[in-house]
Every structure is written in C-alpha cells, then in structure tokens.
Amino acid sequence: MESQSVLDVRNLKTYFFTDEGLVKAVDDVSFSIESGKTMGLVGESGSGKSVTALSINRLINQPGRIVDGEIFLDGENVLKFDESRMRQWRGEKVSMVFQEPMTALNPVLTIGYQIAESVLAHEKVSRKEAWGRAVDAMRTVSIPDPERLAFDYPHQLSGGMRQRVLIAMALVCRPRLLIADEPTTALDVTIQAQILELLSRLSHEYDLSLMLISHDLGVIAEAAETVAVMYAGKIVEMGTAEEVFRTPRHPYTQGLIRSIPKLGSSLEMKDRLDVIEGVVPSLLNLPSGCSFATRCPSKTDECVQSEIELEMIKDDHKVRCIHA
C-alpha cells in the first residue's frame, strides 16, 4: 500500500437494497488517518457517518451491503478477510465505542468480567491474567478504585463512568484504531470535556489513531487534527481542522458553523441563530447534481446538471462545490 496511514478508506460505497428502493448511505467516500492522529467525521443525522464506521468494522447487515471500495487497515484490505479473521481483528486491530453505554454493556455481568472477556476473546491468557488486564485498563481510563468497581454492574455506575468502561473495553487489547461514535452525546458538558481529554491523552500515549464521529462541531474542533464533513452519504469538505473551521468553503460547512451559538449573544432578533433552510433530501430520491443544491443559497443552474467532484482547492483542503 502506498499510504503510511493506519486507516485508508478508498471509494467506499455502502448501499441498502430496500423494498422502497436503493439507499446510497455511503457513496464514494475516501479518507485516511495517520498513526496517532484524530480525524473528526461530522454531519447531521442521516448523513452516513455511523454507516461509514460500521462499514470499516464490517458490521453492515442485510439489506445493507458494501458494494465497492477498499478499506486498508495497517496495509491489509479488510474487505478480503473471511468472517473468522475479521472477528479476530475487531478488538485486536480496530475497536469501537458506541453512543449509549447501557445498550453496549450487558446489565447482568460485572464490569470486570465484561472487559476480561474482551481479552480472552483475542489472546491466549489465563482468566486471572485477563482480570488483571481488565483492572489495569480501568485504571488507565481514570476509573477510581478499579479493583472494587470491577465487581460492580453497569447500572451501579454513572453515565460518564460507563462510557469510560466502554473505552477501557475497547483499548484493553491495544488496537491500532479506535472509532468513537458520538461518545459524548448522552453526557453533560463537564463529563464531555473529561471524556474528550481522556481520548486525546490515550491517543498520544498509545500512538492510537482515533476516528471521532459527531454532529457537534465544538467536540470535533477541540479534539481532531483533520475533519471530514459528510452530507447525504458523501464527503463535501475535508482538510485540517484549523483550515476547515477558519475558512470553510462549502455552503453546508459554512451553515453548520454559523448555526453554533456564540457567547455574549443576546435574545434580540439580530442575534438569532442562523439556520440551514430546508431538510436533508431523502436518500431514496436524491436530486441530480449537488445533493445540497435544494438548500444552498449559492445554487446556480450548473450545480444540478452533473455530479460535483471533491476537488483540491488548497494544500490538503478538498471541497465538493463548483463555487468554492
């Protein structure tokens, strides 16, 4: 593989073949993440962020299917693995932290048991050693008194602590890539900051590549070095976080940034939040040309005549817009 990236996704297409028609949930998506770096994937609900993450883990179920593209992890194309090898790689090479810990954790098993099971599933070690690794992983993610809390059940912990347990479970086998899908959405602001700080610290300490999925631009701006903005199954803008947030070039990215509340704004009309007019088009019936054209203030006839390509406009800054 030419790239030195830990993760290299090339022209990924994941479609759902439904009774109503073809849903192009992820349509020709390409990006890469370098070792020890964090990439933020941002967009509204339904833009294709989570389906992209599930595709990388090969967790797409019927009626969905990866129809085209390549996913290289440490130089190997995971789309060519059989299911047995893919199961081994999940947790060992790539791990995932989900949005809601209570649905990801088994309510009738202790925290320590569940983390230790992750070790036993991937490594030939004794149950005693696996338990020790589980306790160490809890300590790594700053869970206090892990020897005692390892015997607790998920319902006995706070939401922030449960999220830390999920991160400990994801990292106990030291994977190369961690995918965090909306890891702070269900938490209050103070705990959000703690979880983001934890992920950032672990990324640097373990040379861990991190893919952070969120609809919250503030979370992405704080944690990520590079950013990809998704809309209707496609990446519409991609570049360094500083470049994308300082000089957004796609009208959708500009609209997202304008809609962020600012400190010091009043309740007067002049300080009302900007909104992006309209709604995300149905993936069953996408408009021709640019998918954002129906909501775009800069739309011209040229926008809807043919497919718009993602083009480099400056250094590593790419935009899918003919007016950029």
Confidence of residue 277 (pLDDT cuts 50, 70, 90): confident
Q: What is the pLDDT of residue 218?
A: 84
Residue whose entry in the numeric block shows the structure tokens 């993440």: 33
How far apart are alpha carbons 308 and 318 in whole angstroms? 12
Q: What token pair was written down for 263?
A: 């400190």
Confidence of residue 268 (pLDDT cuts 50, 70, 90): low
DSSP-assigned letters across all residues of 28-40: EEEEEE-TT-EEE
How far apart are alpha carbons 106 and 86 in whole angstroms? 23
- Mean pLDDT value across residues 107-134: 95
Q: What is the pLDDT of residue 63?
A: 95
pLDDT in tens, 222-259: 889 999 999 999 999 999 999 999 999 999 999 999 88
- Mean pLDDT value across residues 34-46: 92
Name residue 26's beta-bridge partners: 14
Could you give the angle at the alpha carbon of 132 between the alpha carbons of 128 and 134, nearest 5°? Answer: 115
- Mean pLDDT value across residues 179-186: 85
Cβ-contact 256, 273 below 8 angstroms? no
Q: Nearest to residue 244, comparing CAs of 319, 179, 296, 323?
A: 319
Contacts of residue 269, Cβ cutoff 8 Å, sequence gap at least 6: none
How far apart are alpha carbons 91 and 93 in whole angstroms? 6
